[in-house]
Each structure stands twice: as C-alpha cells, then as structure tokens.
Amino acid sequence: MPSSKTQTTRDRNLAKIFVALPLLVTIILAALRAVAGSMLGGVGLLALVYCGARMAVALRGWTPRFLRRPRATRLKREGRCIRGAALVTGCTQGLGRAFARGLVERGVPVVLVSRDQTKLEALAGDLQSEFPAASCRILAHDFAGPAGGFYGKVADVIRRDVALVVNNVGVGVDYPLTHDELDESMLENMITVNCCATAKMCRVALPLLAERGGTIVNVGSGSAAQPTPYLSHYSATKAFVEQLSRSLDREWRPRNVRVLCAAPYYVSSTGLYKARASWHAPPAQVIVDGVFATLSDARQGSFEVIRACTAHEVIGVLFTSIAEDPVLSSVCAPVARLLGASGSMVEVMAKARGRYLASSGGR
C-alpha cells in the first residue's frame, strides 16, 4: 500500500496532467493548422505557446480544491515548518492582522509590531480569546518616526526565538491619485515606511535568521509588476520591495535564509478595494493561506515573488505578459476588443479613479 503522502503526490500529478492535457491538445491542433495555413497562423501559434508557458509557470504550485488536504492537516503542517516565533509588522488591520491570526491559528508564537499600543493590546486580546493557547508579545513603534533604539529591540527579539519575519507595514493611498495630488509629507512617509523600514528590518533580521534557517516575507503589491498610473509613487515603492526581496533571496539563500515577496493585487476590505470579497479581490485570509502554503512547499526554492492566490497569478500573467508586451498586446488586441476591454492598467485605474470621484462628488 502506498503511503498517504505518496498517494497525495500521485493525485496532484494526475490532476495537473488533466489540466495540461487539453492545453497540449489545443497547441498541437493549432500547430497543424499553422503548418497548413499562413505565416500569421504560425505567429499566433508562437504567441499561444508562450502565453501557455507563462500561465503554466504562474500556476505551478496550484492544486485543485478537491485534492487539497483538510484545512486542519494543512495548518499543522504549515505551523511545523516555522521553527520558532514570528514577528509581524503593521499587524492591527488588513493583511497584517490576517497574518497574525493565521500564524496563531497554526500554533506559532507571534510578536506583534505596530504604532498604536492600544490597538496592539486589543489585537493580542482578540487572538488569545479566539485561540486560548496563543502566545502574543507586543512592541509598539511608528515606522514613519525616529527609530531611536527600536531596531536594537528588534534584534534582541529575533535573537531570542524568531524564525519568521513578516514585513507588512506600509503606507498607501485611499483612492487613485495623480502624482501632483500627493502632498510632500505623504511622498516622504511612503518612501520612509515602504522602502526604508523594510530595508532596515531585513538588515537587522538576516544575519540573526541565518543562525536557525529562518525566512523573511516582504509584502509587496501587484501594482509593481507593470506601470500603474494614479498609483505611480506607491507602485514604485513596492517595486523597490520586490527587487530587494529577489536580490536578498539569492544573496542569502546559500546561508539558509529565504526571502519571499508576497505581491497580491486587490484584497477585499483593505487599501483601495474596500468592498466585499470576489474572485479577483479575495479576503486577506486567502492571501495569507497562499503564502504559508508556499513556505511549507518543498519546492519553495523556485519561488521569489508570488501573488499568493490563483486568480491573482492569472491576472499577473495577463497584465505583465500580454497587456504590457508590445507584440502580444497587438496579437491579442482583437480578442480584448471582443470582450469589451483593452486589458490596459491605464484603463483599469482610470475607471477606478472615475468611480471614486463620482461617489465623492468630485472631491
């Protein structure tokens, strides 16, 4: 009898074969038509193969829902993969709060870092009420203000027992703005918190995490993957986070430290998208579950930047591989027009800005 682990692996491979087979058949049929047809058909075939390959790479960690392990089993497995406590910044709301809850749910002790002491105490109380065995420590700090001795305290905390650092703290905008509409203090705060704080936290954490084979998760944004009008300054700071993460991962991997950038697109009820959950704007828990699944995956060495959910991986391929590619965008333009959309991030953000201005009376 094969072990349950072996059987699960076989089931996953079988599911991927069922997913890949129709794509392979489509490509073969397209190839036959292209050979018998025009040169334009050959160009279309190459575009199809390339887009299919990009989509396959983006979904390489995907497992069909009916083949996934029970949630309780996954939580235990993912918790065991974190060999110590976890430190989470910007944790009192949104994605950061979901990270804190997700860690406690997986049995991982947490160090909660945010600027508001009262909110930190309330969060710790909520977590301990929901999970009586939760271990929560708090550390108040405003990343937009003077550092003082904060990073020394962080070093002491990490040195004690931390194996995972989640750099989630960030400054964004409430709705799409043109660059000249951002005041100077907002520009400076965004760079200070999104870029400088992330870089400083990594600088402190990396050598200490190397002692126990730890991990850093830097929270980026899908807006950094392509030009994002009306979020130009924010997306630029998140591009810094993404490039920093990719470079540090390759720099520190030989020393047994992994650096992962979680860069989702819209998340419901956070940031710009304060709306109910949908397929393209999932709740924060979905993103957090995707991150922990990646961290526990034996193949995580192939991941540096993830969207953390299947829908966002697909959106990322459509925007970065097709809409922003000068050749593929021309090939796919007729299809986009038939669907009534250009696929352009300019159009997406302009519509979002228009909706906000209409709802706020043009303020």
**Residue from 113, 183, 189, 100 nearest 144 by CA:** 189
Contact 222, 263 (CB under 8 A): yes
What Rg value do the Cα atoms of the chain yield, rounded?
22
Q: In Å, how far are 140, 173, 183, 230, 242 from 176, measured between CA atoms?
A: 30, 7, 14, 5, 21
The C-alpha atoms of residue 100 and residue 104 are separated, in whole angstroms, by 6
Q: At residue 215, what are phi and psi to the nearest 5 degrees?
A: -140, 145
Whether residue 134 has pLDDT greater than 60:
yes
64 confidence band (pLDDT: 50, 70, 90): low
pLDDT digits 0-9 by tens, 308-338:
676 777 776 666 666 566 655 565 555 555 4
Determine the average pLDDT of the residues in 329-357. 62
Rounded to a whole number of angstroms, the distance between the first and last alpha carbons of the chain is 67
Catalytic residue selected from 230, 234, 265, 266: 234
In sequence order, what DSSP letters do the residues of 31-94 get, joined into one string? HHHHHHS-HHHHHHHHHHHHHHHHHHHHTTT---GGGSPPHHHHHHHHHHTS-SEEEEES-SSH
CB 163 within 8 A of CB 83: yes
Q: What domains lie within the chain, and their CATH numbers?
A: 1-68 (no CATH), 72-316 (3.40.50.720)
CA angle 178, 172, 221 (to 5 degrees): 100
* Residue 298 pLDDT > 60: no
Could you give the CA distance from residue 51 to residue 327 in angstroms, rounded to a whole number?
12
Task: Count other Cβ atoms within 10 Å, centred on residue 189.
Answer: 15
Residue of higher predicted confidence among 331 and 339: 331
pLDDT at 2: 43
234 catalytic? Reply is yes
Please say if the pLDDT value at position 10 is more than 80.
no
| Highest-scoring range by mean pLDDT, 25-34, 226-235, 325-334, 345-354 | 226-235
pLDDT in tens, 193-246: 999 999 999 999 999 999 889 999 999 988 887 788 888 999 999 999 999 999
Residue 191 buriedness (CB in 10 A; 0-12 / 13-18 / 19+): middle
